[in-house]
Structure 1
Amino acid sequence: MALYQIVAEWTTYLTFYLLCAVFIAFVGYCLYVWHIHQKYDHIPGPPRDNFLLGHIPTFRREMNSDRVIHDRFLEWTEKYGPVYRINTFHTVSLVVSCPEATKEILMSPKYSKDPLAYKRIFHLFGLRFLGNGLVTAVDHDTWYKQRRIMDPAFSSSYLRGLMDTFNERAECLMQHLEVIAEERTIANMHRMVNCVTLDVICKVAFGVDLDLLKHPDSPFPNAIDLCLQGMIQDIRDPFFRHSPWNRKKVREIQEAVKLLRTTGAKWINQRRKAVENAEDVPKDILTKILKTAEELKADGEENHEVMLDNFVTFFIAGQETTASQLSFAIMELGRHPEILKRTKEEVDEVLGTRRDVLYEDLGKLTYLTQVLKETLRLYPPAVGTSRWIHEDTVISGFKIPAGCSILFSSYITSRMEKFFKDPLKFDPERFHPDASKPYFSYYPFSLGPRSCLGQTFSQMEAKVVLTKFLQRFDFSLVPGQSFDIKDTGSLRPRSGVLCTIKHCAKSTF
């Protein structure tokens, strides 16, 4: 009995001391959060929903309502000015729409990517996701090594050689649309261009034919969707992964990550064996990924996982950007018959009855290029990017203490009357060659040394697909569909852009 009493007393003491320790730690953390508030509260911003959670409840409400969260940021920008703060726990991020600061920070290599933000997508729900690849590498030297090796795969001479693949894959879409036109069924344009752009990136980057239009049961499009959803949920809602109601979704996302990385390992090993056997291999992205791994290995760094990081990065980013841009462009052309008419006239003038688009044709498609740029203004693929402030600085008259994240959003600045007259109007004339250029308020592919490596690739592909589509078909949007935006980490048309398709009267194909 005496032993039992001693154990009971010690258990009571330990429980008491543990509770005291937890209480002291909680109070200490609250004091630290209060200190952070005092440090940054001279900067304007919306009232916090909660002392500890900051603005997280607002983010969760916006996501649960299926609203585009960037519209909330736009409202706050118009209310609080070119610099305002948002709080999450003990961290502060500043949303900046000042063109001068955008130029200074994004164009300079001395501002690294935000380690807190990109750490969130290093892993996804416990599994390595984008890791330390080209997009997510925070350290400048690590990034520079990878970028230097990848650059030749996106040179103008190499891209010129991809025109055959762009035409070939676009032709597969045209053949698919011919069947839809003959059967007079509804075309979900986003789904179809998504298949085409994924086919293109797999063919030109990894040397693999998926032919997704003929194999709609492929798991890859859904895996990409799940990864994007998981990424944005994990960044904006830190409680998502811990909710018992989300366990099924989390498992599905984990399986999607496994599928992409397992596929990457398989394709990389096949290419490595081909190289070892002295077979002829294309000088594509996959070959560059292998070369990157060898250089990192020579420097004593990890290489196998970085190879997979870059595979997943290009697999997802290489198709998502172009697919969304094409979908929104078709949607806006369908909503503006006069713009559609002018674009088709230019296509007919440049291409005539010729089936394939030549590299030389791309520079002649001036108005179509304006249409694509205006699409990117309203629906930018890289909605936002962030940088880390390592030292005290001043932005728009506000002293910014070191140790915070600066968020830039092309979505915000592109929809502000301050920078674009009547900003919600779809007007390709904004990008006429003689029009004044927007001053650091339009950057759909980011800016500076960390801008998107594949932007030229993406725009060449988009021009080929859209040109062939407008040359061969007339279309109209199905009445009653929504033209709202769906935010899945990237922006997509909520209804998928449903169209009725018919052959052009003059078409000879």
Structure 2
Amino acid sequence: MAVFFVLLSFCAKALIILLVAAFLCYCLYVKYIHMKYDHIPGPPRDSFLLGHAATFLSAMKTDEVIHDKFLEWAETYGPVFKINVLHYVSVCVSCPEATKEILMSPKYPKDKLVYKKLFNLFGQRFLGNGLVTAQDHELWYKQRRIMDPAFSSLYLRGLMGTFNERADKLMDKLGDIADNNVEANMLHLFNCVTMDVIAKVAFGVDLDLLTNSSPFPKAIEMCLKGMVYYIRDILFEFKPKNRPFINEVKEACTLLRTTGAQWIQKRKMAIQNGEDVPKDILTMIIKTAAAEENMTEEDEEFMLDNFVTFFIAGQETTANQLAFCVMEFGRHPEILEKAKKEVDDVIGMKQDISYDDLGKLIYLSQVLKETLRIYPTAPGTSRDIMEDIVIDGIRIPGGVTSIFSSYVSGRMEKFFKDPLTFDPDRFHPDAPKPYYCYYPFALGPRSCLGQNFAQMEAKVVMAKLLQRFNVTLVPGETFDILDTGTLRPKSGVICTVKHRNYKN
């Protein structure tokens, strides 16, 4: 027995020595990384090992927008600066030439650290290997080829009826709010209508969230919250107090994927049985995928990944954009009146807005673009730089992640004069085009597939709103931004709603 305890004591000491040795080796490796990249400008690290992690955690706890910190650092340290977390190094880039080179080329894959984390949330498959997260170019290209027909301009023209129908349901709801003289949470209402649109247009399902309750809005909100903590707090999942929240996030992921699997299977059976099916995005995806050679079980899982991707990205960011737009209208009555006049001139009293009408709403387009300049609802993207590169005269050794923030570049004086001033004329057809400093839908081959869909939908909803109602921010309404991975108005944009009086 004594020998056993001696051996046990020896093993324990040996294990401690090994752990200490491993820790010291890791510290030496971190030091090596620091030495390799310390010639790149950047803010002082909060600590040797954790780097700038404490800054990010502090911003999350105080509901700050992390991109404001990136903006502050960009203005202090220049168009390329480094940030550290453990042995990982990222460079934040606001140089237009480098933005063009990196985002426009397929040779720079999506950031493996972040996008692998989006594959699942706390062990539960989330976006998987869908269009947003796929890192392998061939895998991504195969999916994009399947999806492209569902977002062609010809197909999008055919969606105008649904855009009008769902927007009219929102107008009916706003009419009730106006008649009852109650306040409206515009962000909530926009979330309902954009989720109704994506469910109907993409998957042929009537949710009618303006009148019916549904678990989907809460599930999406939980997934987005979980995504932020999972990516930005490296220790979050190891803290026991966070276990209830993590379980809620995993349940939300399960709900979305289970629902998607049911909808996809039901539609595939209908197609196989020769039934009449809606000519929506889901049908087009299934039929185009069936024409592909070598479809595998994993390809079937990719379809489910993209269901979750479209269901979230197809509604949340557009709702946020519309809410921010109403917020700015409330602050700039002269811009609101100009937009109303254009809608009156183009749409008049027509019930339905046509595809051709959208092209004539030039000033409204400018307003929506300016909204995304100051409030890019999907504010950033990232790419891996595997080989050495020179950015703005600074040598960047390969093996880093490059971070691009449209929020940062959109708020920099050197790109936009008086950047915090809301000025839709920046996007006048005759104004000079921003040179790779405005990219709310990203750039290049991995830019957002649904951007035309989103802007058509936003323009229909906003045009009908301006046509029929006067919407005014309530006194004391705040203009703070909530960073949940995507950006949204923190207050919800609370407004009073009145019917427009065309007699005056």
Partner of 1:70: 67
Is 2:130 the partner of 1:139?
no
Q: CA deviation at 1:284?
A: 2.8
Partner of 1:120: 117
Partner of 1:431: 427
Where has structure 1 moved over 4 Å in runs of 4 or more? 291-297
- In the TM superposition, 1:39-58 aligns within 5 A as 39-58=36-55
Partner of 2:23: 26
Q: CA deviation at 1:158?
A: 0.2
Is 2:364 the partner of 1:368?
yes
Whether the 8 Å contact between 1:485 and 1:493 is mirrored in structure 2 is: yes
Q: CA deviation at 1:421?
A: 0.3
Q: In 2, distance between residues paired with 1:301 and 1:41?
A: 46
Q: Which moved more, 1:17-26 or 1:199-208?
A: 17-26
> RMSD in angstroms over aligned alpha carbons?
1.4
- In the TM superposition, 1:88-487 aligns within 5 A as 88-215=85-212, 217-291=213-287, 294=290, 298=294, 300=296, 302-487=298-483
Deviations 1:248-306 (A, max 9, x none): 11111111111101111110110111121122323433234435765778155612321
Q: CA deviation at 1:156?
A: 0.5
* 3-state secondary structure, aligned to 2:84: strand
Q: Amino acid of the residue matched to residue 356 of structure 2?
A: E
Q: Amino acid of the residue matched to residue 223 of structure 2?
A: C
* 3-state secondary structure, aligned to 1:408: strand
Whether the 8 Å contact between 1:188 and 1:496 is mirrored in structure 2 is: yes
Deviations 1:127-183 (A, max 9, x none): 011010011000000000000110010001000000000000000000001110000
- Identify the match of residue 498 of structure 2 among 485, 496, 502: 502
Q: 1:367 to 1:222 in 2, by over 3 A?
A: same
Whether the 8 Å contact between 1:289 and 1:310 is mirrored in structure 2 is: no
Q: In 2, distance between residues paired with 1:292 and 1:487?
A: 37
* 3-state secondary structure, aligned to 1:459: helix
Structure 1 gaps of 5+ residues are none
Q: Amino acid of the residue matched to residue 285 of structure 1?
A: I
Paired positions, count: 504
Q: 1:273 to 1:51 in 2, by over 3 A?
A: same
Partner of 1:36: 33
Is 2:482 the partner of 1:489?
no
Whether the 8 Å contact between 2:150 and 2:285 is mirrored in structure 1 is: no
Q: 1:110 to 1:19 in 2, by over 3 A?
A: same
Q: CA deviation at 1:390?
A: 1.5
- TM-score, normalization: structure 2? 0.98
Deviations 1:96-130 (A, max 9, x none): 00000001111111111111110111110110110
Structure 2 gaps of 5+ residues are none
Q: 1:291 to 1:302 in 2, by over 3 A?
A: farther
Q: CA deviation at 1:504?
A: 0.4
Q: In 2, distance between residues paired with 1:300 and 1:189?
A: 43
Q: 1:300 to 1:471 in 2, by over 3 A?
A: closer
Q: Amino acid of the residue matched to residue 111 of structure 2?
A: D
Q: Amino acid of the residue matched to residue 462 of structure 2?
A: L
* 3-state secondary structure, aligned to 2:266: helix
Q: 1:52 to 1:296 in 2, by over 3 A?
A: farther
Q: In 2, distance between residues paired with 1:89 and 1:295?
A: 46
Q: CA deviation at 1:246?
A: 1.4
Q: In 1, distance between residues paired with 2:426 and 2:167?
A: 28
Q: Which moved more, 1:98-107 or 1:242-251?
A: 242-251
Q: Amino acid of the residue matched to residue 398 of structure 2?
A: A
- TM-score, normalization: structure 1? 0.97
